Amino acid sequence: MHFTASPVPCSARPIQFDAGLCIGCNRCVNICQVDIMIPNPEKGRPPVVLYPGECYYCGCCVMVCPRENAIRLEHPIMNQARFVPVHQPQEA
């Protein structure tokens, strides 16, 4: 029996791989809580992200990766909050 799979189109790209650093160990595939990735058919290549819209942004894949900076988790713009200090007026 032979199965085929292809990535589902999505505007989100939560997981970014650096192909120069990724060794294709597939630890990220095994740890992913929502199973959005599958091993790449090409040995030693980064996994294939099939369902990017299902990512929880938990960061497990980044934490389990043995190569630093091989995986980058990119949160959606609306979740990239920056807090700006509010200056209170001085009382006279």
pLDDT, one tens digit for every residue, the chain (92 residues): 887 888 888 878 899 999 999 999 999 999 999 999 999 999 999 999 999 999 999 999 999 999 999 999 988 877 777 777 888 777 76
Contact between 70 and 18 (Cβ < 8 Å) = yes
Tell me: domain 15-75, CATH 3.30.2010.10, correct? Answer: no
Q: What is the DSSP secondary-structure string of 69-83? A: TSEEE---GGG----
**Confidence (pTM):** 0.75
First-to-last C-alpha distance (Å) of the chain? 81
Instruction: For residue 26, give both structure tokens.
Output: 């597939």
> Phi and psi (nearest 5°) for 58?
-80, -25
Helix/strand/coil for 30: helix
Q: Where are the domains of the chain?
A: 15-75
The predicted pLDDT at position 92 comes to 63
